[in-house]
Amino acid sequence: MFEKLLIANRGEIAVRVMATARRLGIRTVAVHSEADRNALHVRTADEAVLIGPAAVAESYLKAAAILDAARRTGAQAIHPGYGFLSENPEFVEAVEAAGLVFVGPPASAIRAMGLKDAAKRLMERAGVPVVPGYHGADQDPAMLAAEADRVGYPVLIKARAGGGGKGMRLVERPVDFAHALEGARREGQASFGDPAVLIERYVTAPRHVEMQVFADAHGNVVHLFERDCSLQRRHQKVIEEAPAPGMTPEVREAMGHAAIEAARAIGYRGAGTVEFIADGSVGLRPDGFWFMEMNTRLQVEHPVSEAITGLDFVETQLRVAVGEPLPFRQEDLAIRGHAFEARLYAEDVAKGFLPATGRLEHLSFPEATSFAPGPVRIDSGVVEGDTITPWYDPMIAKVIVHGEDRPSALRALTDTLDRVRVGGTVTNIGFLARLSRQPDFAAGRVDTGLIARDMERLSAEPDAPEDAPLVAALALTGLLAPSEGDDPWSRLRGFRSWGVAEVRVPLVHEGQGTTVSFGLTADGTVVSDGAAVSVRRDGDAVAVGRDGRNTSLVAVARHGKAMLFGGGASSTYHLLDALDAAGDPSGGGDVIAAPMPGVVTGLLVAVGDAVAAGDPMVVLEAMKMEHTLRAPRDGVVAEVLVEVGRQVEDGDVLVTLEPTVDD
């Protein structure tokens, strides 16, 4: 086995590979960009080498820098993870030319599957079922239109070098073909440098079912059963599961045989995934699935297959890479239970799943292990305190659950998603929680159009609980903090000997200011709107009751921010310091705060300027888009608390207005 392994990747997959390497006694080398200087994968590795600036083209895609890092550290092998250079045959050849081992398939296998049209012709010759269509080299528009007529509408136009839905168009009528072809070619050229396309019959209720395969250098090839990846948004996977719902032994045998033959046809070695499309409208049948493509690497969703087989795929990759035969035969493998994986991202669902950034001020998962078997497993490349930057994929974690059957695994998924807590950035956790309860998904009736059909309900954010501001104010004033030991004085926060002490707490929420007022009696009872309010605390969980309604939230207060979780949603309230805000922000009239993390690119006002409601004041760039923040009312600028070029976080106060004066 290797003594030292370089991981040519970042984030959760780099940390995941390091976990197996450490267990096997292999020292690890991380490579990193300047933006990732303090990233978790860097802190986890035995050694780390800086390879370039933040941009991936100048760091994680620089083969020469990665090879130089391997040479300087004495690494004997390179694991590519997924993405970046993992399916680049030139990189594989460069690794081998440097006398190192590439943990993955040979360059010839990657090339064979690199172009969809050539791969499908190869699969046809190998006897693997392929979706009816045109996969030839002739790209004349008139000829392609004629092929679409032959295949029969609706058809899919696909960029032959495509992936992730780029360069793909659904065409339902011949009259729309020319326009769709032009768009697919343009996108294929922009994304992959290749405008060529192929034509396929469109399956009306498509299911995405893929087979995990492993091959060694001794001619042994096996499949490790299937995964269903049909829950997709714009061709991006959201929740994956194994095994596929509705799968029969006959279909599994046929699909597994096809996947093995596909791997044999290209002389494969290592871990790979053969992706099939099936017609969900008629159920899974031995003659109702077709080859789509092969991913010549480890998949993002490999943990669900590890869960149902009990195997460590990275360990098997490493053993195959050093020339060992596969440690199992097909008859040794069996499915154990059911598993799901949900991808947790920093993204704003309400804004069309716009990627988000921010510092992870709170991050917790329920009773989870990392990179190890168990009912709940979390694979993540970040920890609390880390920052999601705009430079890379905004994945926070993969939430993996395992149960004895699909219903029990699904219950574990919904329960786990409900208890994930992320503060400091917006996430898709509420969307995932609602999706896990979607009736068709719960019943196993899945296809790739399920999310789109129910998007309005799935993306609808729940209203914030009515007493959320009160809970935030109580948390930020320390009234919800647990008592410290048996010290009686720690329970006298807000004490007065008689009457009701009035407490006013100025807050900022989603860029708007508000003041929460409540009373506190001598015995510690909270009074709001003239009535007593019951407040019960159990750890971070807070229950507020009044007028027959109850609000239950988890409240975490840190650094002047209260992060509230509950009902599949989260929100953040910032304590407004009077010295910073220059006045009471009641009603949101005096404060201009950042509605999201970003960089200040324009300041349009100065102290003393008179502004009218709606006047532009600050320009904020977030995720490569500019947002103009405007005056909430007529007034005079009291303070400008930022400068151009400054990075700000969600809720940071940027500008304040002089407080209004009552006549």
651 pLDDT more than 80: no
pLDDT band at 478 (very low <50, low <70, confident <90, very high): confident
Average pLDDT value for residue range 91-102 = 98
**Helix axes 313-321 and 302-309, enclosed angle (nearest 10):** 100
Average pLDDT over residues 336-361: 92
Specify the pLDDT at position 599.
84
In this model, does residue 486 exceed pLDDT 70? no
d(CA 518, CA 501): 8
pLDDT for residue 579: 40
Our measurement of the distance from residue 84's CA atom to the centroid of its chain's CA atoms, rounded to an integer in Å, reads 17
pLDDT at 131: 86
Give the tens place of pLDDT for each residue, 391-427.
Answer: 899 999 999 999 999 999 999 999 999 999 999 888 9
Instruction: Report DSSP state, residue 335.
Output: -
> Distances from the Cα of 646 to the Cαs of 334, 598, 599, 602, 619, in angstroms?
55, 8, 6, 10, 11
Contact 387, 359 (CB under 8 A): yes
Percent of the chain with pLDDT over 90: 62
pLDDT in tens, 11-22: 999 999 999 999
pLDDT at 483: 45
Predicted confidence (pLDDT) at residue 120 exceeds the cutoff of 70: yes
Confidence of residue 588 (pLDDT cuts 50, 70, 90): very low
Q: Which residues of 346-369 are buried (b: 16+ CB within 10 A; e: fewer)?
A: bbbbeeebebbbbbbbbbebbebe
**pTM of the prediction?**
0.81
Q: Are 436 and 355 in contact (CB under 8 A)?
A: no
Contact in structure between 191 and 209 (CB atoms under 8 Å): no
* Paired sense of beta strands 647-648 and 598-603, if any: antiparallel
Residue 582 has pLDDT above 50, yes or no: no
- How high is the pLDDT of residue 581? 42
Residues 457-485: b if buried by 16+ CB within 10 A, e if exposed: ebbebeebbebbbbbbbbbbbebbeeeee
Average pLDDT over residues 558-581: 75
Query: Cβ neighbours of residue 565 under 8 Å, at least 6 residues apart?
Result: 421, 423, 553, 554, 556
- What's the length of the chain? 663
* 170-174, 321-325, 326-330, 549-553: range with lowest mean pLDDT: 549-553
Distances (CA, A) of 375 to 17, 245, 303: 21, 19, 12
Which of 254-263, 309-318, 623-632 bottoms out in mean pLDDT, i.e. has the lowest? Answer: 623-632
Q: Is the pLDDT of residue 320 over 60?
A: yes
Please indicate whether residue 463 or residue 275 has the higher confidence score (pLDDT). Answer: 275
Provide the mean pLDDT of the chain. Answer: 89
Active-site annotation, residues: 297
Name the least confident of 60-69, 210-219, 243-252, 349-358.
Answer: 349-358
Per-position DSSP letters for 198-231, written without gaps between them: EEEEPPSSEEEEEEEEEE-TTS-EEEEEEEEEEE
Q: What angle do CA 159, 162, 167 make, to 5 degrees?
A: 50
- The pLDDT assigned to 583 comes to 36
Tell me what pLDDT residue 373 has: 66
* Position 445 pLDDT exceeds 90: yes
